Amino acid sequence: MKKLIAESIKKEVGLTESEIENMIEIPPSSAMGDFAFPCFSLSKQLRKSPQQIALDLKSKIKLPKGFSYIEASGPYLNFFLNRKKFAENLIKKILKEKDKFGSSYLGKKRVMIEFSQPNTHKAFHVGHIRGTSLGESLARISEFLGEKVIRANYSGDTGMHIAKWIWCYRKYHSKEELKDDEAWISSIYVDAVKRLSENQEFQNEVDEINRKIENKSDREINRLWKKTRKLSIKSWTRIYRELGTKFDIHYFESEVEKRGKEITNELLKKKIAKKSDGAVIVDLEKYSLGVLVLLRSDGTVLYSAKDLALAERKLREYKLDKSLIVIGNEQDTYFKQLFKTMELMKLKNSKIFSHIPFGMVRFPEGKMSSRTGDNILYSDFIKDVSEFAAKRLQERSLKIPKRELEKRALAVSIAAIKYSMLRQNPRKNIIFIKKDALNFEGDTGPYLLYSYARANSIIKKSNFKKRTFFVPELEPIEIELVKKLSQFSEIVLNAYKNFNPSLIANYSFELAKIFNEFYHACPVIHSENKEFRLKLVNSFKIVLRNSLNLLGIKTLEEM
């Protein structure tokens, strides 16, 4: 509808359609119109007061299709929809398009989104949940708009943290059985860090193991590395299944290590890199980006050189239009250094790479587990949240069988966690408060699931059928609900352009809130407007499901 308004105004104001669309506002009350065009910024250009500009526009422009009338109100030009016709057309469109409603086609772009990035031999922790949730949501939004998405994961399976783990296992835990248990794997690494902090002389032993892993010179160490690497990767399977994501390609540092060294030597020959105190660096001081270290002084390769090799490999293996790397905002400076180095080495199509940053997840309690240091294991976290969710569900219904209760509790927990992490701007640090996130009232994942289940219950009780319907005179809250449903497509596009699923999350909450106001104000099953209202309820159900799906949240038919 904004596009139709822009088309009618553009000749009179000398602005482009997109400029006008960006200026159009939604009035705080439907009594003030459905859309408003503010005239303040035109005053200097047209040498008239905003009030006069609004009056002139009203008299000059043609009424856009789908609107009943236009009204000049002070400095605003207010547009009033033909609300009955608008509601009818919108509901028909939603019911016809179903899970495609709100989607559009942006062209055959191939996009790689790299996200999650857990390291083997370390904890899959709460911070990984945020990165995984954000990456999966961005992937779903891109796919919803017609792009071909390649989900990529990149894990550190070599390097100092692996050497620390293997050193600690061999020295202190060799009698323990190897297992694909995330908590056990993580505990070995934490123990290594603790012991190394108590005796720094052990670092020489770790350095020696790191060299042996890199050059594969020790058969026993290499065998242990391969076996424990496999078990660590296997431990992620359940986590990704619960979080509703899977990957098309999984890269590992060990696969790009050799090429990273070769690239480093090439950069030395081209004088893009240089030696400094035995290490190999790229001096980026003249770009105000400091120094990027590629090789340690002992010749072992750092992740920066591996990342250059990974970028080269991505471009070689896939014809990409975009390559997004979703990783914490503490890596902002590093990625500026990396992208500048890619530019200096004239890596073809290096401009397609972008870093999508996100903030940290914190807890009111601070350090939550002495066993895992500052991090909270995913397995501990989801168990704790699920148990809490199960208690909340039992308070609402005592008749849920145990297996069904566990299933619903997990779904509610995942919704609560994902929504709490996606509803805020990705760059912001967030504090996760379990009690608040699992509240069935307010701006939470469970509230959205409950709203969906409530709509489903209405449809189920009514024996809903797809019959023709007429639109009655609409109640104010019905108008608000219809208008909010109509905004979904625009919200999705904005979320896509800004790499920001929080726009969809906030929309979902606003939509659910209006629906619940409608539910309390307007009878459905026992109303003379039953057929229309049932279709309105079903339209809400479809749009909320589509919206939550873009956030990677599964709906529940009943709570």
Could you tell me if 238 and 349 lie in one domain? yes
Structural tokens at position 363: 């807890």
Are the CB atoms for 273 and 294 separated by under 8 Å?
A: yes
Q: In sequence order, which residues have a C-beta less than 8 Å from that of residue 202 and are 6 or more positions away?
A: 167, 195, 196
Could you tell me if 260 and 176 lie in one domain? yes
The DSSP secondary-structure symbol of 301 reads B
Nearest to 284 by CA among 307, 314, 254, 304: 304
pLDDT of residue 374: 55
309 is in which domain, residue-wise? 115-269+298-362
Q: Is 334 exposed, middle or buried (0-12, 13-18, 19+ CB in 10 A)?
A: middle
pLDDT of residue 123: 84
Dihedral sign computed on CA atoms, order 449, 453, 459, 460: positive
Rounded CA separation 25/34 (Å): 9
Assign 529 to helix, strand or coil: coil
Where are any strands of DSSP class E within 427-528?
430-431
Could you tell me if 396 and 328 lie in one domain? no
Could you tell me if 186 and 302 lie in one domain? yes
Rounded CA separation 557/559 (Å): 7
Could you tell me if 405 and 519 lie in one domain? yes
Rounded CA separation 339/294 (Å): 14
DSSP structure string for 89-119: HHHHHHHHHGGGTT-----S-EEEEE---PP
Which CATH number fits the domain that encloses residue 429? 1.10.730.10
Question: H-helix or E-strand containing 276?
Answer: strand 274-276
Q: pTM score, two decimals? A: 0.91
Could you tell me if 120 and 77 lie in one domain? no
Rounded CA separation 452/400 (Å): 19
Which CATH number fits the domain that encloses residue 24? 3.30.1360.70
The residue out of 59, 81, 103 marking a domain boundary is 81
Residue-wise pLDDT tens for the chain (559 aa)? 899 999 999 999 989 999 999 999 999 888 899 999 999 999 998 999 999 999 999 999 999 999 999 999 999 999 999 999 999 999 999 999 999 999 998 888 999 999 999 999 988 888 899 999 999 999 999 999 999 999 999 999 988 999 999 999 999 999 999 998 888 998 999 899 999 999 989 999 999 999 999 888 899 999 999 999 999 999 999 999 999 999 999 999 999 999 999 999 999 999 999 999 999 999 999 999 999 999 999 888 999 999 999 999 999 999 999 999 999 999 999 999 999 999 999 999 999 999 999 998 888 865 444 334 456 888 888 999 999 999 989 888 767 888 999 999 999 999 999 999 999 999 999 988 888 888 888 999 999 999 999 999 999 998 766 667 788 999 999 999 999 999 999 999 999 999 999 999 999 999 999 999 999 999 999 889 999 999 999 999 999 999 999 999 999 998 7
How far, in Å, are 20, 319, 325 from residue 77 at the CA level? Answer: 12, 47, 43
Could you tell me if 308 and 199 lie in one domain? yes
Could you tell me if 169 and 312 lie in one domain? yes
pLDDT of residue 368: 40
The residue out of 29, 63, 81 marking a domain boundary is 81
User: Does residue 531 form part of some domain?
Assistant: yes
User: Does residue 94 form part of some domain?
Assistant: no
Q: How many domains does the chain have?
A: 3
Could you tell me if 35 and 168 lie in one domain? no
Rounded CA separation 304/282 (Å): 10
User: Does residue 60 form part of some domain?
Assistant: yes
- Residue 483: phi and psi, rounded to 5, are -65, -40
Could you tell me if 428 and 336 lie in one domain? no
The residue out of 362, 380, 414 marking a domain boundary is 362
Rounded CA separation 388/382 (Å): 10
Rounded CA separation 277/283 (Å): 13
Could you tell me if 302 and 357 lie in one domain? yes
User: Does residue 104 form part of some domain?
Assistant: no
Alpha helices, DSSP H, located in 319-401: 332-344, 378-396
User: Does residue 35 form part of some domain?
Assistant: yes
Could you tell me if 333 and 232 lie in one domain? yes
User: Does residue 141 form part of some domain?
Assistant: yes
Assign 500 to helix, strand or coil: coil
User: Does residue 559 form part of some domain?
Assistant: no
Strand order in the sheet with 249-252: 249-252, 148-155, 110-114, 322-328, 353-358
User: Does residue 222 form part of some domain?
Assistant: yes
Which CATH number fits the domain that encloses residue 148? 3.40.50.620
